[in-house]
Amino acid sequence: MNPDDSTAVFFQSVSKSFGAKEVLHEVSFNVAAGEALCILGRSGTGKSVTLKLIIALLRPDAGKIWIEQDEITTLKTEELSRVRRKIGFLFQDAALFDSFTLYENLSLPLARLTSKSQEEIDSMVVKVLREVGLAADKKTMPSQLSGGMRKRAGLARALVLEPKILLADEPVSGLDRITASEIDELLLQQKTERQTTLIMVTHDVHGARRVGDRFVVFDHGHLVAYGTAAEVESSDNETARQLISLSS
Amino acid sequence: MANRNFLIGMFVLIGLTLFTIGIFLIGKRHGAFARHVEFYTEFKDLSGLTKGTKVKVAGMDAGQVAEVGVPDSPLSRFRIKLQITERLRGLVRTDSVATIATEGVVGGSYLLVGAGSPQAKAAAPLSTLPSREPVDMSKLLEHGLVLLKDADINVNKVGAKVDETLDGVETTVGNANDLVVGLKQGRGPAGMLLKDETVASNIRQSVTNAKEATAALHKASGRVDDMAADIQSRGVTKKVDETITSARDAAANIKDSSKQVHQTVAAATKPDKHGVDAGTNVRETLSNVNVASANMTEDTEALKHNFLFRGYFNHRGYYSLTNLSPENYRKDRLFTNPENKRAWLSAKELFIREGNSEVLSSEGKKQLDAAIYKFGESVFDRPIVIEGYSNGADPANDPADALSSSWRRAILIRLYLQNRFPLYPTNLGIVAMKNSPPNGLGYSEWDGICLVFLRPQK
Amino acid sequence: MTNAIEFVGDVSVFSLRAIADLFRPPFEAEQFWIQLAEIGSRSVPLIVASGFALGAVMTLHTRSTLVTFGATAEIPTVQSLGFFIEIGPLVAGLLMAGRVGSGIGAVLANLRVTEQIDAIESLSIDSFKFLVVPRVLACVIALPLLTLIMDFSGLVAGFVAEYAASGISWHLYIERAFASLDWANFVPPTLKTAVFGFIIGAVSSYFGYTTSEGAQGVGKAATNSVVLCSLLIIVSDVVLVQCIAVAFPRTAL
């Protein structure tokens, strides 16, 4: 079956193993355009792998993945590049290129993946940096930034291409509550103002419930719960209920 | 950014510059950037010469061997094409001889083209230069050994023959020189037989030769000892060491053998009751001895020119005082140096007539003693050359034969000095000068002798 | 055993990919210049200092030996032959294996561990061409140049040491140093370090690029790079020396 126009990401019976260890087992879910999906689960249950499958850093062993109308598991490099152009990725530790300045980190994707002029690139970088509150740190090296600033800088890089889909791998991990809520706010802003589809892996239930529209819960490579917060709370899976519960 | 590019630029520039320098310096050594003239030469034996081997003209690096043509039959020779830089072309003449030389004991071989003579025409490009076959060091030594062995055998043969013939001779004579003097004076039966001047001269010559050969060998073997010790201490290959040892052994053999000859000759020429037979045998024997000792002299001569010993003789300034040819003698600065001490003694003072020949007068002996005394004590370890002069006025001889007369006089004086003073035989040289002293010594003509006391070499 | 063979296969495929990608656009020229500055230019002080020290030491040693043979005239020749044929190339290779090999191994491993390689890939930039190829190419180009610098540093130091001992003139020293040097003793030994450079670039990139462990993997990649690079340089040197001898049978030493 092909997904309809409103679908941003669609997983169909996706399986992925590393050696003998199966991290995803026939996982299927779909994310509608403009929706925010939170992926919950214990450590090592394939949450980050799911994100990497979406952006085709990893290829599934079985199953199909659609990004909008493109089935990416069979795409060639050049076509993949076109698909990736729609996706921004905020890595767990921001993964800023540490030999580049903040400005270079942001201008690299624009220079590589668009045909914008140097002035346009400049203005876009400045605009995005202002959005995340780092306008003054253009020339700073990533190693000189604090944890929260790095996350924001990583978010800025993910956003600089104005992606339709934003993937965020534990965007608030290792941050204090206040900084974490700032990041959540920025993500929410993307969703509401730009109608960006948001797929977020997180352990932070507060942030997840604030940002997420729907939730998937992984346990031992299996999708054990899928739905709104209320649906997951009433799931018959113990782990899912624990993970979504605010008291945890 | 600018800083980074500067670093890269410097790095690349330095690297490329060094590469260019290296290429250039090696190219210079190969003469890759110089203009060349090509010649040919031919050798029977390549002695390790290969394509690319250095070529030197008169000792200067001139180019390299461009090609080695291999002969198709043993009759023809290796044809070698050599490149010589344009600059040295003027030295290469039609009479320039190509040889294969080695760079010292441990060095490789190179092709040496000698500078030609100015009279000869410049060699045309691509012409074939005359060559001299290389002398292999090991072959040279081998050759020397064969010669030494031959001499050894000869000497033994002579010795055996003399022994056999003169079995009955029992009394010994201490010194052959005395005997010769005796013979000269016609004493004893053998003397009677040998009174004719030629034979007496032969005997003297033989004895002198034998003695000199012995002394030269002695000295040479001493030198070989030194060198062997020296080379051993430097740990040069065992092979050289062994070769030197065998050369030394052979030299020692000769020394012994020639001593034997010396004694035998002495015994043989002693006045004796066996009379005529012995005398005849003696004549025959003496001629054999002459040949043998001549062989020995040649051998020592060969040794002297061997590269191992050459340095020593070059340092001393002369190879031997034994066979000074008047012609070379006059040219040699060593002998004609005005700083040499000289004692000019006239024939009138030295010699008196006795029968047909001249002998030293007692007045002459005094004059000689005084001359030696005047030279001082160092005379005993410095070389002395006795220049014999004669104006040919000796009535006993062909008046024109000034040469033989001056030669005889020198020999007489040497005999006297040898018996009178503890002089090392190799340090006494004689040379026949007829009646004309070398230039620049203040005498245009002389009749008598001149003792030359050579000044020390540096 | 199977693992070892698989490892050899992995490294070989990785190395061949580096060669293949070198000729496939797009070319990461900017990255190449950055790496050439890092690997080449910034190694010059180390190379010059080592070449100097080694050159002086070698002259002191050869002098004491050759002087007993009375062959002191051969000292410049021994020095230049030693440096141009073997010491310069090999020591430059080993020094670079230490400095650059560990650097590349650690940097790439760190990029992998901190997901920077994923980040690059997520931007549809070929991380292999972006990170590995420029490093390998920079090593291949820098090594012969560094070797030349090492060679001449050693020669200059040799001259200084010899000048102190015997007062030899620079002109005579250079004359003798190059008297016995042939093309085959200079060009092939210098160019063979391009192979050393390739080994350093490819092997250390392999360890860094393919690391799958955390912070520990960074250190391990650095160590493994140095060890395997050094070993392969020495082994390949044996082979290369033989190849040069076969290619230049007459003049190679």
User: Which CATH number applies to A1-86+163-248?
Assistant: 3.40.50.300
Q: A52 touching C, CB under 8 A?
A: yes
Per-residue confidence (pLDDT) for residue B205, from 0 to 100: 65
Task: Report how far residue B251's alpha carbon sits from residue B254's, in angstroms, rounded to the nearest whole number.
Answer: 5
**What pLDDT, in 10s, does the model give residues C199-220?**
999 999 999 999 887 788 888 8
How sure is the predictor about A106, in pLDDT bands with cuts at 50, 70 and 90?
A: confident
**Residue C27 DSSP symbol:** P
DSSP secondary structure, A164-217, as one string: SEEEEESTTTT--HHHHHHHHHHHHHHHHHH--EEEEE-S-HHHHHHH-SEEEE
Examine the pLDDT at A227 and tell me if it is beyond 80: yes
Task: Report how far residue C40's alpha carbon sits from residue C142's, in angstroms, rounded to the nearest whole number.
Answer: 5
Alpha carbon distances (Å) from B3 to B14, B361, C38, C40, C42: 16, 103, 12, 14, 12
Task: Report how far residue C33's alpha carbon sits from residue C100's, in angstroms, rounded to the nearest whole number.
Answer: 15
Cα–Cα–Cα angle for A42, A43, A48, rounded to 5 degrees: 110
Q: What's the whole-number average pLDDT of chain A?
A: 84
How many domains are there within chain B? Answer: 3
Contact C142, C38 (CB under 8 A): no
Find, among B262, A91, A231, the residue nearest to C114 by Cα: A91
Q: Test C122 with A57 for CB contact under 8 angstroms.
A: yes
Per-residue confidence (pLDDT) for residue B170, from 0 to 100: 35
Per-residue confidence (pLDDT) for residue B222, from 0 to 100: 60
The mean pLDDT of A18-29, rounded to a whole number, is 85
Examine the pLDDT at C156 and tell me if it is beyond 60: yes
Task: Report how far residue C78's alpha carbon sits from residue B54's, in angstroms, rounded to the nearest whole number.
Answer: 18
Let me know if residue B14 belongs to a domain: no
**Considering only residues 10 to 69 of chain C, which have any Cβ-Cβ distance to chain A shorter than 8 Å?**
34
Range name among B55-64, B250-259, C158-167 with the lowest pLDDT average = B250-259
Establish whether chain B is in contact with chain A, requiring a minimum of 3 CB pairs below 8 angstroms: no
Let me know if residue B409 belongs to a domain: yes
**What pLDDT, in 10s, does the model give residues A84-104?**
888 888 888 888 888 888 888
Q: Which of C34, C116, C125 has its CB closest to that of A95?
A: C116
Distance of CA B201 to the CA centre of its chain: 24
**What pLDDT, in 10s, does the model give residues B79-94?**
889 888 888 888 888 8
Question: Highest-confidence range of A34-43, A191-200, C78-87, by mean pLDDT?
Answer: C78-87
Per-residue confidence (pLDDT) for residue B168, from 0 to 100: 37
Domain boundary among B104, B129, B154: B129
Examine the pLDDT at B286 and tell me if it is beyond 60: no
Examine the pLDDT at A212 and tell me if it is beyond 90: no
Q: Give strand ranges (E) for C85-223.
A: none
Q: Test C70 with B234 for CB contact under 8 angstroms.
A: yes
Q: C121 touching A, CB under 8 A?
A: yes
Mutation site, C3, C107, C116, C135, interface A, largest A CB count within 10 A:
C116
Chain C residue numbers touching A157 (CB-CB < 8 A)? 119
Identify whether residues B191 and B303 lie together within a single domain.
yes
Identify whether residues B209 and B71 lie together within a single domain.
no
Domain boundary among B111, B129, B147: B129
The number of C-beta contacts closer than 8 angstroms across A and C is: 46
Per-residue confidence (pLDDT) for residue B139, from 0 to 100: 66
Please list the residues that pair with A41 across neighbouring strands.
A218
Alpha carbon distances (Å) from B143 to B248, B290, B298: 14, 22, 12
Task: Report how far residue B188's alpha carbon sits from residue A65's, in angstroms, rounded to the nearest whole number.
Answer: 138
How sure is the predictor about C33, in pLDDT bands with cuts at 50, 70 and 90?
A: very high
Domain boundary among B129, B151, B178: B129
Q: A144 touching C, CB under 8 A?
A: no
Identify whether residues B113 and B141 lie together within a single domain.
no
How sure is the predictor about A236, in pLDDT bands with cuts at 50, 70 and 90?
A: confident
Chain B residue numbers touching C142 (CB-CB < 8 A)? 11
From its phi and psi, is residue C132 left (phi > 0), alpha (psi between -120 and 50) or beta? Answer: alpha
Structure token digits, residue B107: 């060095």
Find, among C17, C5, C241, the residue nearest to C133 by Cα: C17
The mean pLDDT of B445-453, rounded to a whole number, is 85
Identify whether residues B210 and B118 lie together within a single domain.
no
Question: Highest-confidence range of A16-20, A190-194, C125-129, C154-158, by mean pLDDT?
Answer: C154-158
**What pLDDT, in 10s, does the model give residues A125-137?**
888 888 888 888 8
Q: What percent of chain C has pLDDT over 70?
A: 98
Per-residue confidence (pLDDT) for residue B264, from 0 to 100: 58
Per-residue confidence (pLDDT) for residue C160, from 0 to 100: 94
Q: For chain C, what is the largest distance between any 2 Cα atoms, rounded to a whole number of angstroms?
A: 69
HEC assignment per residue over chain B: CHHHHHHHHHHHHHHHHHHHHHHHHHHHHHCCCCCEEEEEEEECCCCCCCCCCEEEECCEEEEEEEEEECCCCCCCCEEEEEEEEHHHHHHCECCCCEEEEECCCCCCEEEEECCCCCCCCECCCCCEECECCCCCHHHHHHHHHHHHHHHHHHHHHHHHHHHHHCCCCCCCCCCHHHHHHHHHCCCHHHHHHCCCHHHHHHHHHHHHHHHHHHHHHHHHHHHHHHHHHHHHHHCCCHHHHHHHHHHHHHHHHHHHHHHHHHHHHHHHCCCCCCHHHHHHHHHHHHHHHHHHHHHHHHHHHHHHHCHHHHHHHHHHCCCCCCCCCHHHHHHCHHHHCCCCEEEEEEHHHHEEEECCEEEECHHHHHHHHHHHHHHCHHHHCCCEEEEEECCCCCCCCCCCCHHHHHHHHHHHHHHHHHHHCCCCHHHEEEEECCCCCCCCCCCCCCCEEEEEECCCCC
Examine the pLDDT at B209 and tell me if it is beyond 80: no
What are the residues of chain B with a beta carbon less than 8 Å away from any beta carbon of chain C?
4-5, 7-8, 10-12, 14-16, 18-19, 21-23, 25-26, 28-30, 50-52, 61, 106, 234-236
Please list the residues that pair with B84 across neighbouring strands.
B37
**Considering only residues 75 to 114 of chain A, which have any Cβ-Cβ distance to chain C shorter than 8 Å?**
77, 80-81, 84-85, 87, 89, 91-93, 95-99, 108-109, 112-113
Task: Report how far residue B44's alpha carbon sits from residue B37's, in angstroms, rounded to the nearest whole number.
Answer: 24
Q: C115 touching A, CB under 8 A?
A: yes
Examine the pLDDT at B266 and tell me if it is beyond 70: no
Find, among A234, A194, A230, the residue nearest to A213 by Cα: A230
Alpha carbon distances (Å) from C130 to B74, B302, B412, C205: 67, 77, 103, 12
Element (H, E) at A227: strand A222-227
How sure is the predictor about B458, in pLDDT bands with cuts at 50, 70 and 90?
A: very low
Contacts of B180 (CB under 8 A, 6+ apart): B200, B203, B204, B207, B269, B415
**What pLDDT, in 10s, does the model give residues B129-141?**
888 887 665 666 6
Task: Report how far residue A186's alpha carbon sits from residue C20's, in angstroms, rounded to the nearest whole number.
Answer: 43
Per-residue confidence (pLDDT) for residue B245, from 0 to 100: 65
C245 or B201, higher pLDDT: C245
Domain that holds residue B62: 29-129
Range name among B65-79, B188-202, B297-311 with the lowest pLDDT average = B188-202
With tokens 């200067």, the residue in question is B60
Identify whether residues B196 and B312 lie together within a single domain.
yes
Let me know if residue B54 belongs to a domain: yes
Please list the residues that pair with B111 across neighbouring strands.
B55, B100
Q: Coil, strand, or helix at residue A37?
A: strand
**What pLDDT, in 10s, does the model give residues B368-399?**
888 888 877 777 777 888 888 887 665 555 65
Range name among B93-107, B171-185, B312-326, C2-16 with the lowest pLDDT average = B171-185
**Considering only residues 153 to 172 of chain C, which have any Cβ-Cβ distance to chain A shorter than 8 Å?**
none
Examine the pLDDT at A37 and tell me if it is beyond 70: yes
Residue C26, preceding peptide bond in cis (omega within 30° of 0): yes
CATH number, domain containing residue B396: 3.30.1330.60
Q: Sort C219 into a burial class: Cβ within 10 Å, 0-12 / 13-18 / 19+.
A: middle
How sure is the predictor about B367, in pLDDT bands with cuts at 50, 70 and 90?
A: confident
Q: How far is C77 from chain A (nearest CA, A)?
A: 46
From-to residues of CATH 3.40.50.300 in chain A: 1-86+163-248
Find, among B118, B251, B131, B274, the residue nearest to B190 by Cα: B274
Examine the pLDDT at C172 and tell me if it is beyond 80: yes
Per-residue confidence (pLDDT) for residue C234, from 0 to 100: 95
Range name among A28-42, B26-40, B192-206, C198-212 with the lowest pLDDT average = B192-206
How sure is the predictor about C96, in pLDDT bands with cuts at 50, 70 and 90?
A: very high
Identify whether residues B154 and B292 lie together within a single domain.
yes
Distance of CA B119 to the CA centre of its chain: 29
Let me know if residue B430 belongs to a domain: yes
Range name among B219-223, B395-399, C51-55, C210-214 with the lowest pLDDT average = B395-399
The mean pLDDT of B403-422, rounded to a whole number, is 82
